Structure 1
Amino acid sequence: MAGPELLLDSNIRLWVVLPIVIITFFVGMIRHYVSILLQSDKKLTQEQVSDSQVLIRSRVLRENGKYIPKQSFLTRKYYFNNPEDGFFKKTKRKVVPPSPMTAKVPFPLTLRFKPMLQQGIELLTLDASWVSSASWYFLNVFGLRSIYSLILGQDNAADQSRMMQEQMTGAAMAMPADTNKAFKTEWEALELTDHQWALDDVEEELMAKDLHFEGASRNKKEDA
């Protein structure tokens, strides 16, 4: 038995759907001309730089920890992987605002379209034809690409979809987008790393080598 039909206020079309299209278009136009006036490299925030440096420190500890004493290695490992308040245990949650429904497509869709059209809505029983405001925004971002190319040319700064693809390739990003996932991966790698002292027999190995002290002293006498 089918559930009751959901009704959407007609004012949403005038005050949500159309404004998103108009605002997205003009924001892209403004972004294009502002980026032309302000040609500057994208700067990383202090938090992004700090997180990337921490990941580098942890990787260096895993690779070169065998050259420091065991107690020093365990102290550094405890700082990162302490189960209670270790650095990698401090998750950084991002607040995701709710995304209300804005429109409904006039044709039925399968459940495979729900992740694409209903971002921010966690309702398994909701029909896949409904579109959330966040999904509607991204549809406009990619849908207006041809219009931007027609008005501003191919190489324009208003093409947000192109900028998203460049960010996904990691061309200008030194820090992964998902910080929590990067921390979890590094935590697991460091947790599996054990200290193996590489300088245990360094004195014996050094004394066993032929250092050619006689040849070095002879060269000094000749130079004198």
Structure 2
Amino acid sequence: MLPQSVLSLWEAIRTANEGPELLLDPDLKLWALIPISIVMILVGVAKQCIMVLVSPKSKTVPRVKLTEILYITKARVLLGNGSNLSSESFQMRQEYLAQVLSEGKYLAIKPNENEKAKIENPFTNSSMTDAMTSMAMGNLVNYIPQTIIMWWVNYFFAGFVLMRLPFPLTIRFKQMLQSSVMTDDLDVRWVSSMSWYIISMGGLTPVYNILLGGSNLDKLDVSAQQQQLSQIPGGPSPQDQMKSLANDITVFQHVSVLDDIEDRVLKLYS
């Protein structure tokens, strides 16, 4: 057992490190914490609705183009996850994909030996124009509300200490959690109004997913759009990608995780 004087000294040091205790007005939660949280949620929902309205409508992808994209994706997936297949299954897929990719069987646009490839101007490509417009509108929709809300919080709630976190933190979090509070000896667990706004910006994504139903984008449509956007001047064409993947699949050295799995399991649990 430690002497009472040592315990008292330890308690004094611990209290000094934690900083002074604050008695918060209960009305702060009603007039500051809850309004900031509600405004953040409403503004986030409004931004999502505006983005849906101003975003360009998804264009249908021709079947031949979608087939081309899927076969390129299938070859990449086989190279990345082929170790999960048995040797027979991998060899069957290896021979088939190497043949169809090298022949260019599923190319959307068949190559013409007598015609030179034409370089398309990216500014005349409708897909590139829509993507650039959507990106600019997204940045604008995000920037304007954040600027207005930051001014509103900084003007009406500057210097407010709203809550105390129930878990300890290191001193490095002090600048983030106690923004606009000019104190040096305050415990890092106390959170100011401006810091609560900054934390809410990155922590309300699950709430938006619940209110808006999450992301409903079609994976195939996203893959097709990414494939179209990747066709910029100087980039590899689908024909070059298929030939490169066919060569990679042909020379790929397959090692299956299923080889000798019975012996390894018996050795592990024996």
Query: Does TM, normalized by the shorter one, top 0.5?
Result: no
TM-score (norm 1): 0.40
Higher helix share: 2
Bigger relative CO (Cα 8 Å, ≥ 6 apart): 2
